[in-house]
Amino acid sequence: MKRALSQDDLKRMVGYKAVDDYVKSGTVIGLGTGSTAAHAVDRVGEKLKSGELKDIIAIPTSIRTKEQAEKLGIPLSTLDLHSDLDVAIDGADEVDPQLNLVKGGGGALFREKIVELCAKKFIVIVDESKICDGLGPGFPIPVEIVPFCHEHTMREISKLPALQGCVPVLRLGNIANNTPDGDKPAITDNGNYIVDLKFKTPIKDPVAAGQQLKATVGVVDHGLFAGMTTVCIVAGKEGVYIKEKKVL
């Protein structure tokens, strides 16, 4: 009898497929952060070691990913030296029918966004559990804010029209997940705090929500990645498939 695929098996399948289909020798690539993206990083390292890939330059989106890539011998650089990327590969916490995303469950949303906006192609890799009808209720929206007067910033966020009904919760303990597992604020790679916005109903307009957050003084960036996805590769029980953007 065939063993049922675990969630980690599914994550590995999409991570490997993204690298096999979209990473070519002689390119500059963005390496994402999180449990699914880690499989893509492993695959890049594997293919460099075997000689199947050559002359790759990678830009990591977090200290965690940088350390993983270094162990695998993947040549690294920064956006300061290479700000024109051929492709970036990363996971997501939620994907809506328009391929808008929630990212930042792992606390690296600012570095992920700045790198992925520089890529000609942004390949999103998820297992089926991340597919949703609307962003918000299934996974809190992470927002990176400066520590100075953070309670004031949280209050200002809760007043934004496009985020009506949200409850901002300061992330405590480990930055890499949104479960409170400590009593001190979680600190990002940039020295900031993360606020997770909890919703009971889907955000009606993710673009407006993102614009209003970005215009709030004290907000560094947010986990709404709207209109950025080139391709979304999904692993489900029936195998791996490409999720098409729903035409409105």
Give pLDDT, residue 230. 97
Say yes or no to pLDDT of 248 above 90: no
Give how far Cα 178 sits from Cα of 20, 21, 120, 139, 174, Å: 31, 32, 30, 10, 8
130-134 LR contacts (CB < 8 Å, sep 24+): 130/91, 130/92, 130/93, 130/94, 130/95, 130/234, 131/95, 131/234, 131/243, 132/94, 132/95, 132/96, 133/96, 133/97, 133/202, 134/96, 134/201, 134/202, 134/203
Sequence-distant (≥ 6) Cβ neighbours of residue 15 within 8 angstroms = 36, 37, 38, 39, 40, 41, 42, 43, 89, 125
Query: Same structural domain for residues 16 and 120?
Result: yes
Q: Is residue 248 part of a domain?
A: no
Residue 66, helix vs strand vs coil: helix
Residue 246 lies in a domain: no
Residue 94 has pLDDT above 90, yes or no: yes
- Is 247 part of a structural domain of the chain? no
Question: What is the structure's pLDDT at 237?
Answer: 84
- Whether the per-residue pLDDT at 247 is higher than 80: the answer is no
Degrees, nearest 5: CA angle 41-19-233: 105
Instruction: Please report, for the domain that includes residue 177, its CATH number.
Output: 3.30.70.260
Same structural domain, 157 and 200? yes
Given a cut of 80, whether residue 226 has pLDDT beyond it is yes
Assess if residue 76 is contained within a domain: yes
pLDDT in tens, 128-137: 999 999 999 9
Same domain for 74 and 15, yes or no, is yes
Among 52, 70, 94, 112, the one annotated catalytic:
112
Residue 7 — very low, low, confident or very high, per pLDDT cuts 50/70/90? confident
CATH number, domain containing residue 80: 3.40.50.1360
Q: What is the pLDDT of residue 246?
A: 80
Q: Which helix (H) or strand (E) holds 234?
A: strand 231-236
Q: Which two tokens stand for residue 54?
A: 């050559």
pLDDT digits (tens, 9 = 90+) for 113-132: 999 999 999 999 999 999 99
One domain for residues 212 and 231:
no
> How large a percentage of the chain has pLDDT more than 90?
92
Check whether residue 19 and residue 123 sit in a common domain: yes
Number of domains within the chain:
2
Do 98 and 39 share a structural domain?
yes
Q: Are residues 183 and 233 in the same domain?
A: no
Let me know if 112 is a catalytic residue.
yes
Same domain, 18 and 123: yes
Q: Are residues 33 and 108 in the same domain?
A: yes
Please report which confidence band the pLDDT of residue 2 belongs to, taking 50, 70 and 90 as the band edges.
low
35 in any annotated domain: yes
- What is the DSSP-derived secondary structure letter of residue 96? -
Inside any domain, residue 215: yes
| Domain co-membership, 177 together with 235 | no
Shared domain check, 165 and 231: no
Q: In this predicted structure, what is the pLDDT of residue 33?
A: 97
Q: Are residues 39 and 123 in the same domain?
A: yes
Question: Does 145 map to a domain?
Answer: yes
Determine the Cα–Cα distance for residues 245 and 100; give it in Å rounded to an integer: 9
Q: Which domain holds residue 178?
A: 141-222
Q: What is the pTM of this model?
A: 0.96
CB 129 within 8 A of CB 50: no
Q: Is residue 57 part of a domain?
A: yes
Is beta strand 57-60 parallel, antiparallel or unpaired with respect to 85-90?
unpaired
pLDDT tens by residue, 142-195 = 999 999 999 999 999 999 999 999 999 999 999 999 998 999 999 999 999 999
Average pLDDT, the chain: 96
pLDDT digits (tens, 9 = 90+) for 27-42: 999 999 999 999 999 9
How crowded is the C-beta side of 206, counted as CA atoms within 13 Å? 24
The mean per-residue pLDDT over the stretch 47-63 comes to: 98
- Report residue 1's pLDDT band, with 50, 70 and 90 as the boundaries: low
